[in-house]
Structure 1
Amino acid sequence: MTQEAEQGIGRVGVWNSRLSSDDREFQDENREAAAELDELGYGAIWLGGSPGVARAVPLLAATRRISVATGILSIWNQTADEVAQDVAGLDPDQAGRFVLGLGVSHAPMTEGYARPYAKMVEFLDGLDSAAAPVPPARRVLAALGPRMLTLAADRSAGAHPYLVTVEHVAQSRAALGPGKLLAPELGVILDPDRARAHATARAALAVYLRLPNYVNNWRRLGFTDEDFADGGSTRLLDALFAIGDTTTVRTRVAAFHEAGADHVALQALRHDGALPREEWRELAAAVPLS
């Protein structure tokens, strides 16, 4: 990882979909939460839910130091020219804290889905040739498999893989090589009741068990049909999520870093789906953020 990248997003960030919402009901709290995350010392906010660049603008304006990233913008939702224009339109005083995360999405969620790797190559070409190009150093790819990881190394600052294990982090580092950003997401459930925590994990995992890109990646890691049945086996859940107390999370974050991650994006999950502000505070006090 380059020194510039490490200074830009730090060692630990947060991943959350609600923070990317454009629903007016949530705007004030989202800005307040972003400002608090900045003060707590997190390095980056990753906006889930396939957000456009515009979704980062309110959070960039509400903060002074923390980076804000799309995690992950689907390349099927906009053209490369449109995305490049949106990036060029960011406030110059804030644009240096923005990271463009890109992904190929999934066939069940995308009309006309075909040849995703070629589509990503075409999209990156479009960003390079736009009137105001988005340089490789300002973009990362949601890479899971070997080909996309190689593309991330060749055409971007690095990779932001989602729902992965410690083993996958190590494999990703080997594929990316040194000097490239590796910023995996890690689901976190702070709940001493393991049965309830596993129910929370299964609820979060349900949609992804229907997406071949994720299931195929888990198969490469040694999981089988038995692990995908009934909402996910305990073995799968415990490999994909840090479940328990803050000590469990701190240990898993350390394992991710030791396996080659530069930055870990923590997605704190609650059984009630509320914005996990208390969890973010607990984690900031327990997990080394720098």
Structure 2
Amino acid sequence: MGVRWGLTIPLNDLSLPEHRELVRELPELGYSDVWSAEVNGADGFVPLALAAEWAPGMRLGSAVVPVYTRGPALLAQSAATLAELAPGRFVLGIGSSSPAIVERWNGGEFAKPYQRTRDTLRFLRRALSGEKVSEEYETFTVKGFRLERPPAEPPRIVLAALRPGMLRLAAAEADGAITNWVAPEDVPKVRAEVGPDTELIARVFVCVNPDAGEARRLGRWLIASYLTVPAYRAFHDWLGRGDALAPMHEAWAAGDRAGAMAAIPDEVVDALIVHGDADACRARLQAYADNGLDTPVVAVLPGSAPGSEVVRRLVPKSG
């Protein structure tokens, strides 16, 4: 499997319509994929639908759509629509998301995330094939659902996965795994859980800024925001950063947000945030591929040069 280079859209400094020319240019720049996210910005499907028309040869992926914030049938309908629009080019990435997104923002219940993700994967496999589904799963029940417009080519489904249980589920039952907040040096440990033949995808946060202090300030804010979530804390304990991040967790638990950010060591920021000038960032991105990541997905951070300029400078034309 050759390395695929992805870009997270939309960029923060462009409106959705303003992405048209950049997305059309991406294949010439060496990018093969565009990937969306679904947190509190754009939804996970509309940017991909636009990109499907702007760049007909690119692969489109969601990284990720939560399994709690849409019902199983609605999620199947959304996926089927993209698969019909871009046959053979859409990859549905699903994951459990986080308690903040599911409960605080969407009024759901974040219960049994492994089981809910597994059950949703199994339901989607059947529904997207056009089968009528009546099944009592562990975390939900579906009675008599059949897609009116099943896609001629069902999309590949990949799972957001951090620790061994979900990574192994992705390898056993899905078409790939999406991990997050990893350094290049972490990739072999993650790869060992999914084996050599499972596509391994990761979003990589990039700040093209030669001012290391400024880039690290941004990185500390992001790390404190994400890695204090229980799933990410457990993930980095597993990766071996538990001791390095313990002071951050202690300050965060005490309500000292500024202290939590200040407690994050430079070496942790430098491991998890790609920063420096464009050449340094490009070399660091290549290290992810060299260490076994199949699909690095660039996420351009605020504080970089204009997003479209960064995108044009990061990935060599050779891909």
Alignment of 1:90-239 (within 5 A): 90=82, 92=84, 94-111=86-103, 112-130=109-127, 132=129, 138-223=156-241, 224=243, 225-226=246-247, 229-230=260-261, 232-239=264-271
Which structure is larger by alpha-carbon Rg, 1 or 2? 2
Q: Which residue of 2 aligns with 1:32?
A: 21
Which protein has the bigger helix share?
Answer: 1
After superposition, the CA RMSD in angstroms is 2.6
Deviations 1:169-198 (A, max 9, x none): 111211111211011121111111111111
Report the more deviating stretch, 227-236 or 253-262. 227-236
Query: Aligned equivalents of 2:44 and 2:71: distance in 1?
Result: 11
TM-score w.r.t. the length of structure 2 is 0.78
Q: For 2:30 and 2:95, how far apart are their aligned partners in 1?
A: 27
- Point out the more displaced range, 147-156 or 72-81: 72-81
Which of 6, 12, 15 is the aligned partner of 1:13?
6
Q: Which residue of 1 aligns with 2:38?
A: 49
**What is the number of residues matched between the two proteins?**
276
Look up the SS of the partner of 1:11 in the other structure.
Answer: coil
Question: Which residue number in structure 2 is paired with residue 277 of structure 1?
Answer: 308
Write the letter of the residue equivalent to 2:30: G
The worse-fitting range, judged by mean Cα deviation, of 168-177 and 37-46 is 37-46
| Structure 1 residue 200: Cα displacement | 2.1
Residue 131 (structure 1) shift: 5.7
> What displacement does 1:14 show?
1.3
Q: Is the 8 A contact 1:80 1:130 kept in 2?
A: no
**For 1:124-162, what per-residue CA distance to the aligned partner results, in whole angstroms no more than 9, with x for missing partners?**
121022164588971111111000000110111111111
Structure 1 runs (4+) deviating above 4 angstroms are: 133-137
Given the superposition, is the C-alpha separation of residues 36 and 145 from structure 1 closer, same or farther in structure 2, using an over 3 Å criterion? same
Structure 1: state its 5+ residue gaps. none
Pick closer, same or farther for the CA change 1:80–1:178 going to 2, 3 Å: same
CA contact (8 A) 1:136 1:157 kept: no
Structure 2 stretches lacking a partner, 5+ long: 104-108, 131-150, 250-259
